Amino acid sequence: MGNRAEYDSGDFLKSLGFPEIRVHQSNGHFDFTKAGRRILVIGPMGSGKTEYSAKIWRDARVTLEKSDIVAEQTRTGDADRRNVFFVRSALDEKRFEEYPEDALAYRGGYERLGNNIASIRSSFDLEQLISDFPQMGTWIIDEASFFDERMAYVIKNASDKWGLVFVYPTLILNFRRDIFNSTARLLIETATDVFPLTAYCEHSDCIQDSFYTYRYYSVGGQECPALYFDPLIIIGGDQKKEDPREPNYCTRCDHHHYLPGKVYTYFTLKPLGESAAKGNPALLRQELELLGNNVKESELYSSVLGEQEDGLSHSQVIMNALKVPCLAEKALLYLFVEQNLVSSGLFKQLAEDLNMDREYLISRLADSGRTLRW
């Protein structure tokens, strides 16, 4: 349909004596007349996902000034889809400390939503909000992938039953370029519409389209890419960080999205965890000790060194990944939190025997919703 429209428009302009050009559909106003939609807005950081949400809010302000004739087109039962409610994760509040409490904040500005905004922790909280605000017909769930899997079906049931529209601007791919989690996968499966957004690659030498979120650390002013087994979930703000234990994020294209250590993770680290799970932790202990005290002798160093390519400028950047502190802690967390190959008892034993950074471990465990008694 889209190609036919472009062809017809081109023929029409040509018939008027204009040169043949490609005509694209404009980014129109939000359609509040269509009920029951589940709109997935995807893209990397900086692609305008939240600004897309702010535009829906501004469009709603305009349409609410229309007559009752319009209301008949935008209402299903008690809910009017011109009434927009914005929901964010309570775990992500650090991102918005510098803004008013009722701000829908995006790069370059914010909209104040008054009582039409709330922070929640789970899909059960969303159900309660929908019950408390039955007049709200459009619900924007910021970073919906951060919530429990049940969220996808709460959204689907509410949209099917009451004609509510849900918009969820969210990351679908994590810094590893994998589907973020099972919630993200379910959101894709249950969506009715998908709007993909891109951003410019944030590498200083590049202006290509970017689809990927890139995680890196700053060590002595140098860019140090996160290794593949870096903790998947790290809660924090978007501000630039110089602490080498805290990550920074930007968006990058294929060529400038560096992700060293993937081969090592599956070829070496995970098998060591599997061996430990069978009661043989000696080789894992040895590798973790090297990661903490003598990384150049570790299997990780050999593997990352093999990822270099002669004559390419990114080779040194890849090796910088080994300058980031807490490599042993990150490897152990990966095996414990994500792979469930290391028991809590062995986790604590290895952390104590190898004198790991307990503060770092506790912080990253909390990010993943895990706790341990030491």
Whether the per-residue pLDDT at 233 is higher than 60: the answer is yes
Residues 358 and 333 sit within 8 Å (Cβ to Cβ): no
Residues 172 and 179 sit within 8 Å (Cβ to Cβ): yes
From 71-80, 150-159, 309-318, the region with the lowest mean pLDDT: 309-318
Residues 230 and 247 sit within 8 Å (Cβ to Cβ): yes
- CA dist., res. 348 & res. 373, Å (int): 9
Cα torsion angle, 123, 170, 92, 98, sign: negative
- The torsion angle over the Cα atoms of residues 125, 157, 235 and 336, rounded to 10 degrees, is 110
Whether the per-residue pLDDT at 262 is higher than 50: the answer is yes
Q: Summarize pLDDT for 85-138 with one digit per residue, the tens.
A: 999 988 766 666 778 888 888 877 788 999 999 999 999 999 999 999 999 999
Same domain, 60 and 192: yes
Inside any domain, residue 5: no
- CA dist., res. 243 & res. 145, Å (int): 27
**212-241 as b/e: b if 16+ CB within 10 A:** bbbbbbbbeeebbbbbbbbbbbbbeebeee
Q: Summarize pLDDT for 32-54 with one digit per residue, the tens.
A: 999 999 999 998 888 889 899 99
Same domain, 35 and 184: yes
Same domain, 178 and 306: no
Same domain, 191 and 237: no
Identify residue 104 by its one-letter amino acid code. L
Same domain, 131 and 159: yes
Mean pLDDT for 349-374 is: 94
What's residue 22's pLDDT? 60
Residue 68, Cβ density class (10 Å: 0-12 exposed, 13-18 middle, ≥19 buried): exposed
Q: Summarize pLDDT for 21-37 with one digit per residue, the tens.
A: 565 555 689 999 999 99
Structure-token pair, residue 61: 């302000």
Inside any domain, residue 68: yes
Residue ranges making up the domain that contains 287: 262-367
Helix (H) or strand (E) holding 152, with range, is helix 150-162
Structural domains counted in the chain: 3
What's residue 311's pLDDT? 59
Same domain, 67 and 90: yes
Same domain, 55 and 189: yes
Residues 139 and 85 sit within 8 Å (Cβ to Cβ): yes
Same domain, 237 and 121: no
Same domain, 150 and 272: no
What's residue 180's pLDDT? 86
From residue 187, give the alpha-carbon distance in Å to each of 44, 134, 316: 17, 23, 38
From residue 296, give the alpha-carbon distance in Å to each of 122, 187, 287, 300, 305: 43, 42, 11, 8, 10
Residues 59 and 27 sit within 8 Å (Cβ to Cβ): no
